Structure 1
């Protein structure tokens, strides 16, 4: 059957949602792996990543069930949720790509001050102390602090070296997946309005 027909649209929608399921399981697995091996000690960060992965899994599951059963209600809610996710993700991705260095530094400092556990993780991983300054009386998890505090660098200098690249990478990945969400909305809309050739000739569903 030519692409654009009932079977082709159904298969395309199923394939897209299977990809979403795999991505969601990858997010959950990476978060659990990072917590298990002690790479990330912040429960909040792990919970957020697992929450995003679980939400994506549920949305993909709804879309997959709607595609397999040609269920009008499931496909409708799938379209609405996926469109809202697209708007949010597209906005965040554009913001990541548009941030200048001063804005990046401000956001990094706000995030730094919100969680001592995150500070501990960053200091231990990047071998640095404090965000923009520190003293000998500061509690620091970096190995350089135990050897010689004067040899430690501030974490802001180290983080800013990679912040721009990370934001561009995250923004680019977000934009890519946002366009796949537009594709998902379009496929779901088209699929809802195609008659199942296996149904009765006079029936729409």
Structure 2
């Protein structure tokens, strides 16, 4: 028995929300992949709580897409069991998202500590490993920074000649610009502080987006429950 009256409007709004869920799922997967790539490049890490966060985001995004598909099928067919399953799974996602958000806030200092440690190690290997040199240069160019705390950190690198920093530290990067450098011609800020500020700004944006997604998910749960009630009433009438 098809829903009637106000429930038709609820059903339509649920379709709109499901479409939004699909877009959010794709967005979560993209954010998770980008975060994982950044951590893999910037932090030589093992399996830690901080390193698992991007994988959790990717898993939540994939699961949300699957849940949206279940919800779409249940809404289209007005299937009581599928809509109930959709509401339960969506509630589970909300719980996981809240937990992931809390974990991200708690472990953000751990992630920065790992980055600081590994960045310094890569500085020590700058002249020994092309991979380390490439990573350090890319980060220093991208974030307009030099060294871990500041440019003087390069003086502690045994393999780096005195009065020399990588060319990527220069305000205007050219070959050899880091040799016998002048302080006015290089970046002064360290990469740990600069990248830390960048991470905090982006984490705030992600947190605000997650709260918005959670609000829409709660709305989807409410509409799903209303639709379930209407479907059950239809069965009782029959």
2:64 corresponds to: 56
Distance 2:235 2:92 in 1: 35
TM-score by length of 1: 0.66
Aligned partner of 1:108 in structure 2 is: 112
Indicate the RMSD between aligned Cα atoms, in angstroms: 4.3
Q: Is the 8 A contact 1:6 1:194 kept in 2?
A: yes
**Number of residue pairs the alignment of both structures matches:** 189
Q: Note closer, same or farther for the CA distance 1:125–1:31 as it changes in structure 2 (3 Å cut).
A: farther
The 1:63–1:195 alpha-carbon spacing in structure 2 relative to 1, beyond 3 Å, is: closer
Paired residues of 1:24 and 1:57 also in contact (CA < 8 A)? yes
Gaps of 5+ in 2: 42-50, 123-130, 171-175
From 86, 104, 111, give the equivalent of 1:78.
86
Structure 1 residue ranges without an equivalent (≥5) = none
Cα deviation, 1:113-164, whole Å, max 9, x if unaligned, reads 57989x93644521435544743448x9982277428735421111233343
State the secondary structure of the residue aligned to 2:231: coil
- Report deviation, 1:40: 6.0
- Conserved 8 A contact 1:124-1:142: no
Alpha-carbon distance change, 109 to 200 in structure 1, aligned in 2, over 3 angstroms: closer
Q: TM-score if structure 2 supplies the norm length?
A: 0.59
Matches within 5 A, 1:13-24: 13-24=14-25
Paired residues of 2:22 and 2:68 also in contact (CA < 8 A): yes
